[in-house]
Structure 1
Amino acid sequence: MSSPDIAPSEAVLPPGWTAHDPTGEDVEDLVRLLRRHEQDARGWPGADSEHVAAEVTGRGATARTHRLIRDPDGAARGWVSCHDRAAGRVLVGITVDPALELSLADQVAFYAFALAERVSADIARDRGLAATQMDSGAFRDDERQDRWLKEAGFAHVRTWWQMERAVTPSEATDHPAPREGVVVRRVRRDDAVGLPQEQDLRDVHAILEESFADHFNNYRETFEEFVERLRSDPGHRWDHWWLADVDGRPAGALVGSTVTGRLDADGNPVPDGSYVEYIGVHSSARGRGVAKALLWTVIADAAARGRNRVGLEVDADSPTGADGIYSSLGWQTVYVTESWHKDVPASAG
């Protein structure tokens, strides 16, 4: 991808190509570009307009920087996305049209990764940091993306199993009850305004921060950052947030979301599903069956809503053996992704 004669700071697009900030009018082009990439790299497309629009023009846009790369004919050929995820961490997405001839795709990718590095360095500077981590990803066995990541200086640091579990209608009521002393409930709502009670949301945040403190690449978020980021997801629903009280005190939490708009490999719509964004149990309550109680709750909720599946992501190298719990409850891996990291110094000035 790179040339020893060209520094990343001097990377340019091929003659006649352009890069600009996307607007709402560009969303459908971005969706089609991302779906082509997913089809080529994973085997089936999943991108939809609602999620792309949320990142580019919705609530989630305020923490993201985007560039849409077009060829001389105006066709969308590349997408650079940098998400200021937390202090010291920038999520980087690089998408290059798989239909491009390889040498041309390499040049576009070189420019895209160089641009992402400059944006990440600026984010670190603006946060007053000395450096930041660029956190990018790829589908497993996507040799093209892996090569670009290596040539851009990234290292493969983790593998993730993307798992799903089928849900049957009977599971809305037919499921094990929590153990004695464990009560799972939705976060409470303020009847006057319909919003969740802040203390319950703070309990969710505190439980997740404590339970993930020793997990791979965990970055602490303020309460405000945590809530705002999750609210920006188009699949966000307040009635998909649960707390588990153990002996009368909050000790477990699960944040779920709605998965809509997915299409299968043939372009046919797939029924809605639920997704486990986060699940955590405070160390003081482990061994009480809290995680299973929370998982059975989201399964039952999905069944009651007429959904056909619940998805989640698990660290393939997790020392906690979390995948064992998921497998025992019926989750299976449907595809695999990778995390790639690179540390970059903040830009000057």
Structure 2
Amino acid sequence: MSIRLPDHYTARPVSLDDLLPIVDLCQVYFRWMNGVNSSMEEELRTQWGFDFFNLATDTMAVFTADDLPVGYVEMWDVREPHVDLVGWAIVHPEHMGRGIGKFLADWLEERACQNIHKAPTGARVVLSQSTESGCQPVIDFLSNRGYRHVHNGYRMRIDFNEPPAEPVVPEGIVIRPIKNEEEERVALFAKYEAFLDHRGAIEEPFEEYYLRWKDIIRNTTYNDPSLWFVAWDGDQPAGMTLNYATTDDDPEMGWVHTVGVRRPWRRRGLGLALLQTAFCALYSRGKTRAGLGVDADSLTGATRLYERAGMYIERSYLGYELELRPGKILSRQGLESEE
């Protein structure tokens, strides 16, 4: 690699032995960025164990002479057709301004460019990154490197000052937890179909999607199938919600990972019923609040749904893209008529 590292530092891909030092780096970085004490240990341990993520080729860290990590970057390219690559990088606040951020960004962009050949001929390929909306140093850094602000996201939450409202389920629909691996597959199919209408979604074969999610489930220590709910219309899955009983930064908060409704069952109140089902389940586990992440400009109106359910915006995020190759956009940008 021809990218020059600042003096007095070394760089190498991480290994599993680096997990806890990188977790410590993440904690320092997040306290600097937003004042939140986020562990990231379980999330990193899970992600580093995925079959589709290679620590040797998809990560790079910068270390001091004492072998302490002060910078870390990872590159994700896990979905066909390989047109939307994702990067994430952090630098220890006490080591900012020394060229470490530039080194990591150069590595990330060079690494991403190595995968352009995987994309279909003539397709546009981008590298995406995000940051909190108030983190001006990172915003300026990305903008100065040619990244373009393309979307906004929210972390929303609800506080259970009283028991959450019981769901009002549309007539003919039954919502219940999944019972077995077969129903797990059904839940993931409903998720797959519902999120084809998500901004930036790229259609891929369901079997590839399913196998990737099986790997995620296998490696996620806090996965709990009893918090997976499917809405059934007879033998058809109309929607689902997948939830976790914990988050990295708040032990009192449950996490609504996903709420989705398939097209034929939308605009009937099912999304709200699924969300309220999740709230009730998390509350029954002793959680005093629940959170989720959402596209601020959701094509299906998810933000408005969450606000109706009593949620409010806790933090906001900015999404940026760097065009690696111009061409035809393959990801979803809007909804065609459903009539």
TM range (shorter): 0.7 to 0.9
Paired position in structure 2 for 1:340: 320
Partners of 1:32 and 1:85 lie apart in 2 by 26
Give the alignment's TM-score, normalised by structure 1.
0.82
Aligned residues: 316
| Structure 1 residue 225 corresponds to structure 2 residue 212 | yes
Partners of 2:316 and 2:295 lie apart in 1 by 10
| Structure 1 residue 255 corresponds to structure 2 residue 242 | yes
CA pair 176-254 structure 1, distance change in 2 beyond 3 A: closer
Partners of 1:101 and 1:228 lie apart in 2 by 36
Residue pair 1:86, 1:220 contacting (<8 A) in 2 also = no
Q: How does 1:289-308 map to 2 (within 5 A)?
A: 289-308=269-288
- Residue number among 246, 255, 263 corresponding to 2:233 in the alignment: 246
Paired position in structure 1 for 2:142: 149
Paired position in structure 1 for 2:90: 95
Residue pair 2:167, 2:274 contacting (<8 A) in 1 also = no
Paired position in structure 1 for 2:26: 34
Aligned Cα root-mean-square deviation (Å): 2.4
Residue pair 1:257, 1:275 contacting (<8 A) in 2 also = yes
Q: CA deviation at 1:300?
A: 1.0
CA pair 145-254 structure 1, distance change in 2 beyond 3 A: same
Q: Which runs of 5+ in 1 are unaligned?
A: 1-8, 190-195, 263-269
- Residue number among 231, 235, 247 corresponding to 2:222 in the alignment: 235
Q: What secondary structure sits across from 1:310 in the alignment?
A: strand
Partners of 1:66 and 1:23 lie apart in 2 by 9
Cα deviation 1:186-244 (Å, max 9, x = unaligned): 1221xxxxxx21xx334333323332223211123432123323543343222222110
Residue pair 1:120, 1:132 contacting (<8 A) in 2 also = no
Quote the sequence identity (%).
Answer: 21
- Residue number among 307, 319, 323 corresponding to 1:327 in the alignment: 307
Residue pair 2:169, 2:270 contacting (<8 A) in 1 also = yes
Partners of 2:175 and 2:299 lie apart in 1 by 26
| Structure 1 residue 182 corresponds to structure 2 residue 173 | yes
Q: CA deviation at 1:248?
A: 4.7
Paired position in structure 2 for 1:267: none
Q: CA deviation at 1:170?
A: 3.7
Q: CA deviation at 1:101?
A: 4.8
The letter for the 2-side match of 1:179 is: P
- Residue number among 216, 221, 236 corresponding to 2:199 in the alignment: 216
Q: CA deviation at 1:168?
A: 5.3
Q: CA deviation at 1:286?
A: 1.2
Residue pair 2:254, 2:290 contacting (<8 A) in 1 also = yes
Paired position in structure 2 for 1:5: none
The letter for the 1-side match of 2:316 is: V
Cα deviation 1:73-128 (Å, max 9, x = unaligned): 433210011122312222200101112252x1xx1111111111122223344x46
Partners of 1:318 and 1:261 lie apart in 2 by 25
Q: Which moved more, 1:311-320 or 1:299-308?
A: 311-320
Residue pair 1:164, 1:311 contacting (<8 A) in 2 also = yes
Residue pair 1:133, 1:344 contacting (<8 A) in 2 also = yes
The letter for the 1-side match of 2:196 is: A
Q: What secondary structure sits across from 1:159 in the alignment?
A: strand
| Structure 1 residue 79 corresponds to structure 2 residue 72 | yes
Q: CA deviation at 1:261?
A: 4.7
| Structure 1 residue 206 corresponds to structure 2 residue 189 | yes
Q: CA deviation at 1:46?
A: 1.1
Partners of 1:201 and 1:124 lie apart in 2 by 33
Partners of 1:341 and 1:14 lie apart in 2 by 26
Residue pair 1:162, 1:312 contacting (<8 A) in 2 also = yes
- Residue number among 55, 70, 75 corresponding to 2:63 in the alignment: 70
Q: What secondary structure sits across from 1:278 in the alignment?
A: strand
Partners of 1:229 and 1:148 lie apart in 2 by 32
CA pair 140-91 structure 1, distance change in 2 beyond 3 A: same
The letter for the 2-side match of 1:254 is: T
The letter for the 1-side match of 2:288 is: N
| Structure 1 residue 59 corresponds to structure 2 residue 50 | yes
Q: What secondary structure sits across from 1:175 in the alignment?
A: coil
Q: Which moved more, 1:46-55 or 1:107-116?
A: 46-55
Q: CA deviation at 1:148?
A: 1.8
| Structure 1 residue 19 corresponds to structure 2 residue 30 | no
Residue pair 2:52, 2:78 contacting (<8 A) in 1 also = no
Q: What secondary structure sits across from 1:77 in the alignment?
A: strand
Q: What secondary structure sits across from 1:59 in the alignment?
A: coil
Q: What secondary structure sits across from 1:320 in the alignment?
A: coil
Partners of 1:12 and 1:83 lie apart in 2 by 23
Q: Which runs of 5+ in 2 are unaligned?
A: 327-339
Runs of 4 or more consecutive aligned structure 1 residues displaced over 4 Å after TM superposition: 128-131
Q: CA deviation at 1:341?
A: 1.2
The letter for the 2-side match of 1:301 is: A
Residue pair 1:54, 1:61 contacting (<8 A) in 2 also = no
Partners of 1:54 and 1:61 lie apart in 2 by 12
Residue pair 1:276, 1:312 contacting (<8 A) in 2 also = yes
